[in-house]
Amino acid sequence: MTISFQRRRLLQGGAAAALLPLTGTIHAAASHRFAVGEQDFLLDGKPIQIRCGEMHFARVPREYWAHRLKTIKAMGLNAVCAYLFWNYHEWREGRNDWAAQRDAAEFCRLAQQEGLWVILRPGPYACAEWEMGGLPWWLLKHDGDAFLRTRDEAYLAPARRWLKEVGRVLGPQQVT
């Protein structure tokens, strides 16, 4: 089966972007490489089929994370998808909270211990029935109209800052 140029571009641009932040299993993330092959995804040069469940750790009490991840693994899945809701972590402008229930790195470590890959979706917009799509309320308080989810710099500048913060916190666990 051949993948058309257009479909391959979609895989590389869309799916691959979503899969880049795969968090490794027991091995250090830096020792793995992820790529889009001619017909499949490749992990360390070998085809991998990603069988994924969804868990929004922000909606599950932290003391249940390990149990939920064990259940995902027991279902025969090898990955878990999770949103990083921007307004959950940066509920005050410029102040990010990664502690306790918001500890995304710990969620990823627990998934690692279960032998699960993690596909994080940091947004900035999250389509998951979450208030304002995960966008922080303070985006609306600036003078002038900030056109959310557009190329407006009043939106893009804080969105870039958010994604850099995500990279700072979770980058060491990332497979690229």
pLDDT digits 0-9 by tens, 120-138: 999 999 989 999 999 999 9
Global confidence as pTM: 0.81
> 13 with 5: CB under 8 angstroms?
no
Please enumerate, as own/partner, the contacts of 4-8 that have beta carbons within 8 Å and a separation of 24 or more. Answer: 8/36, 8/38
pLDDT reported for residue 147:
83
Which tens digits make up the pLDDT trace of 17-76? 344 344 444 345 558 899 999 999 999 999 999 999 999 999 999 999 999 999 999 999
50-170, what's its fold?
Answer: TIM Barrel (3.20.20)
Burial (0-12, 13-18, 19+ Cβ within 10 Å), 16: middle
pLDDT reported for residue 22:
43
Task: Please work out, in degrees rounded to the nearest 5, the angle formed at the alpha carbon of residue 88 by the alpha carbons of 137 and 12.
Answer: 100
pLDDT reported for residue 24:
41
Where do the domains of the chain lie?
50-170
Measured in degrees and rounded to the nearest 5, phi and psi for residue 83 equal -85, 150
- Closest Cα partner for 110 from 47, 51, 62, 149? 62
Q: Which residue has the tokens 């092959």?
A: 37
Q: What's the rounded Cα separation, in Å, for the pair 132 and 175? A: 30
Q: What's the rounded Cα separation, in Å, for the pair 75 and 78? A: 9
Sheet with strand 52-54: strands edge to edge: 22-23, 117-121, 79-83, 52-54
Q: What's the rounded Cα separation, in Å, for the pair 83 and 63? A: 19
Q: Give the list of residues 6+ apart from residue 116 with CB closer than 8 angstroms, or none.
A: 25, 69, 72, 73, 77, 78, 79, 80
